Amino acid sequence: MAKLEIYKSFLEGNIKCPPSKSYTHRAIAIASLAEGKSTISNPLISRDTIATISGCKMLGIEIEKSNENVNCIQIIGKNQFETPKDIINAENSGTTIRILTSMAALVKNGYTILTGDESLKTRPMKPLISALNQLGVQAFSSNEKNTPPLIVKGGGIKGGLVSIEGGISSQFISSLLISCIYGLTDIEIRVTGKQVSIPYITSTIETMKNFGVSIKHDKEYLNYNITNTRYRPTDFNIPGDFSSASLIIAAGVLCGGKISIEGINFHYPQGDMEIIDIVRKMGGDITINKEKEEVIVNGSHSLDGIECNLVNCPDLLPAVSIISLKSRKPVRIFGISHARFKETDRISIITKELRKLGVNIIENEDELILNPVRCLKNAELDSHNDHRLFMAFTIASLLTNRSIVRGAESIDVSYPSFIQEIKRLGANVNLTK
């Protein structure tokens, strides 16, 4: 396992925000369902999104790099898929396996098998399996835990009323919305319990709208009405990724001078945009320029404590946890129980690893309380191959004299150039085996 040796560093300079992983997944899937040629500009090409591209290709979709523009991919979509000739491997991508599970119901006939790596095989799928069953789709897990591998019989989505649990992941709703427009009859989705990560659903709906489909829903995003319609092929430009930008913002707060993050599109909804308000409430120096699509952050000597509800933006947990290292008062992060169902149990791993740095942190089922720390210890941290935790632990370690973070391979999931980019900003880090 590759590890990063990290020394105390001061960061400053300009950086371009990587494209959004969430929007790239959605645009590829929806373009694959739109009969005709679509062009996706500025896509994120990473391990996760390559898994989505590969999965769509196995369903018979043509996806190629554009001859005219190296930063574009062209997709020839259709609304009825071929039976895959092999198992679809979603690798480490929960978004991939969840979106493609519903798409697999649109295979003309035959069965689709979907699996992933060891981490993905622990991710819950029961709510989506149950919802598809209610819609007349034969979908099931190969095991009693209702985790991957999954088997889906083709033949279409019949339609009707479906009830689905909303407290585990918004990806189940996004999956249904993307494919259920091809239901044989109208479909009504009713969400039971609370719905987490609503901004990810709004990003799905926004992407669908760009491909010509509007979804009717209530204000609470608990009821959806879907009628049979068709996507139209289009050109779609992927915005910058606030999930990745949040970690660069954290680096700026903790270790900066002035860092300018460019390529931020404020038009498209992204829940992780909340990082700007969180930093401001903590007293951090952060400004935005929507016209220039830019965020500027300056380093802070100390910050205020905060109570922070991340129910709609759980991917901010790593960034907010490390920003808390500069707080002179306790920071309470809550509404995060669904972060236990990410690539790892992020709550327990953040607790375990930040304690190695000397952080007094209290873990409960749905919250973390981080108390002020005077001086961080040198430590060897394990990201458990979670890309966001690796990046967060790396940034936190820039405050220590010398630390090590294991799991550098994971960054190709969402931000392949992360190490090169922070080195360009001044980080003193060395990649070793």
Residue 118 neighbours by CB under 8 Å, 6+ apart: none
State how many domains the chain has: 2
Do 206 and 124 fall within a single domain?
yes
Do 209 and 170 fall within a single domain?
yes
Query: Across residues 182-202, what is the average pLDDT?
Result: 95
**What is the predicted pLDDT for the residue at 80?**
84
Do 54 and 146 fall within a single domain?
yes
Do 230 and 141 fall within a single domain?
yes
107-140 pLDDT, tens digit per residue, is: 999 999 999 999 999 999 999 999 999 999 999 9
Do 273 and 170 fall within a single domain?
no
Residue 176 has pLDDT above 90, yes or no: yes
In what order do the strands lie in the sheet containing 402-406? 380-382, 402-406, 3-7, 428-432
Last residue of a domain, one of 237, 263, 292: 237
Do 155 and 279 fall within a single domain?
no
What's the one-letter identity of residue 295?
A: V
**What is the predicted pLDDT for the residue at 69?**
66
Do 268 and 408 fall within a single domain?
yes
Total count of residues recorded for the chain: 433
317-376 pLDDT, tens digit per residue, is: 999 999 999 999 999 999 999 999 888 999 999 999 999 999 999 999 999 999 999 889
Q: Is the dihedral of CA 83, 84, 89, 94 positive or negative?
A: negative
Do 251 and 213 fall within a single domain?
no
Mean per-residue pLDDT of the chain: 95
Do 264 and 380 fall within a single domain?
yes
205-260 pLDDT, tens digit per residue, is: 999 999 999 999 999 999 999 999 999 999 999 999 999 999 999 999 999 899 99
Using CA atoms, how far apart are residues 28 and 98, in angstroms rounded to an integer? 14
Do 10 and 42 fall within a single domain?
no
Do 375 and 306 fall within a single domain?
yes
**Domain membership of residue 134 as a residue range:** 21-237
Query: Across residues 161-166, what is the average pLDDT?
Result: 96
Last residue of a domain, one of 201, 217, 237: 237
419-433 pLDDT, tens digit per residue, is: 999 999 999 999 987
Distances (CA, A) of 5 to 251, 252, 394, 416: 17, 20, 9, 18
**In contact, 276 and 295? CB cutoff 8 Å:** yes
Do 205 and 246 fall within a single domain?
no
**What is the predicted pLDDT for the residue at 66?**
75
As annotated, the active-site residues are 315
Here the CATH number for the domain that contains residue 45 is 3.65.10.10
Bridge partners of 4, per DSSP, are 405, 431
Last residue of a domain, one of 237, 257, 286: 237
50-104 pLDDT, tens digit per residue, is: 999 999 999 999 999 877 666 899 999 998 899 999 999 999 999 999 999 999 9
Using CA atoms, how far apart are residues 85 and 193, in angstroms rounded to an integer? 39
**What is the predicted pLDDT for the residue at 64?**
93
